[in-house]
Amino acid sequence: MVDRTISDVRTSYDLVADEYVRRISEELEHKPLDRQLLDRFAASVQDFGLSCDMGCGPGHVARYLDERGLRVSGVDLSPVMVEYARKLNPGIEFSCGDMRSLEIEDEALGGIAAFYSIIHIPRPEVVAALVEMKRVLRPGGLLLLTFHIGDDVVHLADWWGRQVSVDFIFFRPEEMTGFLREAGLEVEEVVERDPYPDVEHPSRRAYIFARKPRGSSQARGPSGRPLDAGTSHGLGGQTHMSIVGHTPLKGSDDTGQKEGQEPMA
């Protein structure tokens, strides 16, 4: 990602931060699968020390994990988002940072939850960003990575009436698993779901659990119960869960968003 691009992303989120907080900070209430996967993530890294909400925005994912007893911090590119995160979640430490070059010590984190932050990294730089996340994970540490499914690059010049310049990059699950393996991470599980109607942008979503190797005899997958919905089948040694039954949104405007609906992220 060139400096101009990263600057545009930072500025764009600074400009929409007020509206983003109003619309998005309670989104997990309407996304049961997201909550379930975060629960599994929290249970799996509970004894691994500090975790990080990477690309934390106003800190709602970090707050959800904190409420489940996880030691968690947050990092975001946008200074205004970080200000909101600190204000809304005073018991959690938040800082500004670029996920391509983190000011975090080697092997400092037991887990990383990266909800829709990889979507601003151009494809040629994704592996380098994943290598950086691997660097800060402890051996055996877990990454939960989420993104939109597809091949699109959606550019927004107007976001909730603010003039911005930001790209939202979609990925195919098999493409991202290849990037993760190239970065030296072990892919354990891939989960897909349809969009929740009237809640978010009408794109399919992917969630990948990947782990920093620590030896096959010690590696363990995300803990706990099976998902309540969907079908599963083997996918190259991993489990691929396909969640079905949601109806894609219709009648949205040219940015694919409506009042109360999540804008791409």
Sorted by where each begins, the domain ranges of the chain are 3-243
Query: Poorest-confidence range of 8-12, 75-79, 240-244?
Result: 240-244
Percent of the chain, pLDDT > 70? 79
User: pLDDT-based confidence at 4, cuts 50/70/90?
Assistant: low
The answer to whether 131 and 160 have CB atoms below 8 angstroms apart is no
Give the orientation angle of helix 123-136 with respect to helix 173-182, to 10 degrees.
50
In this structure, the strands spanning 238-243 and 231-235 are antiparallel
Neighbours of 157 (CB within 10 A): 11
- Give the tens place of pLDDT for each residue, 178-235: 999 999 999 999 999 999 998 899 999 999 999 999 863 233 333 433 333 332 333 3
- Give the tens place of pLDDT for each residue, 111-154: 999 999 999 999 999 999 999 999 999 999 999 999 999 999 99
> What are the angstrom distances between the C-alpha of 88 and each of 62, 81, 95, 124, 201?
11, 10, 14, 35, 25
Task: Please provide the CATH number assigned to the domain covering 3-243.
Answer: 3.40.50.150
Nearest to 55 by CA among 108, 153, 129: 129
The pLDDT value recorded for residue 3 is 57
State the Cα–Cα distance between residues 209 and 66, nearest whole angstrom: 19
What is the pLDDT of the chain when averaged over all its residues?
85
The pLDDT value recorded for residue 194 is 96
The pLDDT value recorded for residue 96 is 98
182: Cβ contacts below 8 Å, ≥ 6 apart: 127, 130
